């Protein structure tokens, strides 16, 4: 069996239901997960709107026809830190990133006050939420690597 390093699927995306061609028997679980994460993202949008003294559903209309996608990235452990792979410093282009970390972690964020990279400690049964460029005028730069 070949191990996929990156696997994408989503809701309302033409290739969503082609999942079974790649990994047999997981389509329903993938779609269910994508729908649950999208529901969480809309709830977060409502909380953001309310924090700005706007009606709860004020931002939802901007994203109701959006293309939500789920991307599973696997970064195998690297025995030599100098050879670590990952995604270099970047900003998330969408509105929200809902990130489920494993217990290893590997996500760093750049602290605005001094420009230092700080490790985001994995917390069991939780998500890390990144605010993307569509919502935030000045997005935080972050990088990802295997440890």
pLDDT value at position 30? Answer: 80
Q: What is the mean pLDDT of residues 6-31?
A: 65
Q: What dihedral angle (degrees, nearest 10) is formed by the CA atoms of 89, 122, 92, 52?
A: -130
Handedness of CA 22, 93, 129, 86 (dihedral sign): positive
User: What is the DSSP secondary structure assignment for residue 59, as one 8-state letter?
Assistant: T
- pLDDT exceeds 50 at position 66: yes
Is 0.85 surpassed by the pTM of this model? no
Give the Å distances, CA to CA, from 117 to 18, 108, 131, 141, 144: 38, 6, 17, 9, 11
Tokens encoding 99 = 């990130």
- pLDDT exceeds 70 at position 21: no
Confidence of residue 85 (pLDDT cuts 50, 70, 90): low
């Amino acid at each position: 069996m070949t191990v996929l390093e990156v696997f994408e699927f989503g809701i309302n995306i033409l290739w969503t239901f082609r999942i079974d061609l790649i990994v047999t028997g997981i389509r329903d679980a993938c779609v269910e997960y994508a729908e649950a994460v999208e529901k969480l993202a809309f709830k977060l949008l409502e909380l953001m709107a309310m924090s700005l003294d706007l009606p709860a559903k004020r931002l939802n209309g901007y994203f109701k026809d959006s293309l939500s996608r789920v991307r599973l990235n696997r970064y195998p452990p690297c025995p030599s830190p100098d050879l670590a792979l990952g995604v270099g410093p970047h900003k998330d282009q969408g509105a929200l990133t809902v990130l489920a970390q494993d217990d290893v972690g590997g996500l760093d964020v750049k602290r605005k006050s001094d420009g230092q990279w700080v490790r985001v400690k994995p917390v069991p049964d939780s998500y890390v939420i990144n605010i993307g460029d569509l919502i935030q005028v000045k997005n935080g730069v972050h990088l990802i690597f295997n440890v």
